[in-house]
Structure formats: structure tokens, C-alpha cells
Amino acid sequence: MYTLRLYQDLLESNTESNSDQEAQHSILYVHEGSATVNGQFLGKDQAVYHRDVMAVEAGPSGASIWRWELVRSSEPNNLIGGEGIRSRLRMSRHVRMFQLVPTSKWLFRLDSIMNNEGSTGLHSHPGSGIRCMIEGHLRVESEKGECADSWKAGDPWYEEGSYPLVSTSDPGETATFLRGMVLPPEYVKYPDTAVWIEGTKSCKSDWKSYVQSVVTLL
């Protein structure tokens, strides 16, 4: 069985991980500050995918990082260690709508729904994932899946894509959030994954792609 996990890593100025982080598949997003990941510089609101190992070093103003990992469920939690570093697991979920087995291929994607305004109406997705609030307030309601009420930056919630749900922003307000998702590989060319069960999309929003990779599970 395979698990999708979301970590929050807070690194003080110029600190670095005391060893390479080992994970089958990782997507790292810089929320605040900057970081160098395996020699690649990332500024605020940038992300990168890495496989197998990852070395992280914070920039001069430190770094607040959100990190998604797709790993075997038997793997221990992969906290970043080092002086001046605080790392914690924020959410862990088994992806149940697919049979994730060794050698199978999946699309591992990080994107963002930006300035979501209003209510989506009932919809589903062809893949599952852990969301992470960036700004605003969003309520997620589902009869079969998980519900959430997210209003702080960093609040996570899980959407099992096959379970229909409704997402609603506060009246007159907008919400922006990240989506770390596992999808069938053919969706590599499709930006919009929602399937609208009640007619068409009834909210306003923008979409941003950060990084995606078709990965092979080990």
C-alpha cells in the first residue's frame, strides 16, 4: 500500500538538513523565504519534484516549506533533521480510489486553485490528493468523503477524488490553495480535472501549475 503525506518544514536562516532526505517521490514548495534543493535555487511560491534523495538548505531569510511525498505506507515519517529546523507531519492518507502497486505509473502533480470565489457545486476528480490552504477560507462538504473548514495558511485537507463534494468560499471573499495530487498518467496534458455533477462550474477561480511528473512506484 502507498501513502501520500504532507510535511511542514521551517528552516532558520542559512540552515541545512543534516543528511539527505530519502523518499521515493517528493514535491517541495517554498511558501516563504527561499531554499536550495539539490543545488537548485527556489524562491517564494516556487516548487520542484525530486526522486530518491533530497538535500535542503535555507536562504538568508530562512524558509517555510510544504513537502508532499508519495511513499510506501511502511516507510517511517521523513522529518528533516538539523539544528535550526522544525519539521512535522501535517497529514497522511492512503489513496484508495486506485490500486497503487509496484511498477505502476502515476501523475504526481502540484498545482493551485487561485482566487476561488463562490461555491463550486457538486463535483468530483479523477485523482486524489492533499490540499493546503494559502489564503482565505474554504469549506469542503462531502457525504461520503472527508469534510473540512480551512481558514489558516497551512491548513491541510484530503479529497478522495471519487467522492463528490462541494467547496465554498465566504461571500465576497476568495480562497487560494495548493493541491498535491495523484492522477492517472494521461492527465499530464489536462489542467482541469474536475467533473461537474451538477451542471457546469458555478464558481470563479484561476489555475496555476507548479510541477508534475509521471512517476513509477517502487
Asked if 5 contacts 48 with a C-beta cutoff of 8 angstroms, the reply is no
pLDDT at residue 86, rounded to an integer: 97
Q: Is 111 or 197 the better-scoring residue by pLDDT?
A: 111
Is the predicted pLDDT of residue 204 greater than 80, yes or no?
yes
Is the predicted pLDDT of residue 143 greater than 90, yes or no?
yes
Structure confidence by residue, pLDDT tens digits, 131-141: 999 999 999 99
Average pLDDT, stretch 45-51? 97
pLDDT at residue 200, rounded to an integer: 66
User: CA-CA distance, 177 to 181, in Å (whole number)?
Assistant: 13
Is the predicted pLDDT of residue 188 greater than 80, yes or no?
yes
Q: Do you know the residue count of the chain?
A: 218
Share of the chain above pLDDT 70, in %: 98
Confidence of residue 94 (pLDDT cuts 50, 70, 90): very high
Confidence of residue 192 (pLDDT cuts 50, 70, 90): confident
Is the predicted pLDDT of residue 35 greater than 90, yes or no?
yes
User: CA-CA distance, 211 to 180, in Å (whole number)?
Assistant: 10
CATH number attached to the domain at 2-94: 2.60.120.10
Is the predicted pLDDT of residue 107 greater than 90, yes or no?
yes
What stretch(es) of the chain map to CATH 2.60.120.10?
A: 2-94, 105-216
pLDDT at residue 199, rounded to an integer: 66
Which of the listed CATH numbers 3.50.4.10, 2.60.120.650, 2.60.40.10, 2.60.120.10 matches domain 105-216? Answer: 2.60.120.10
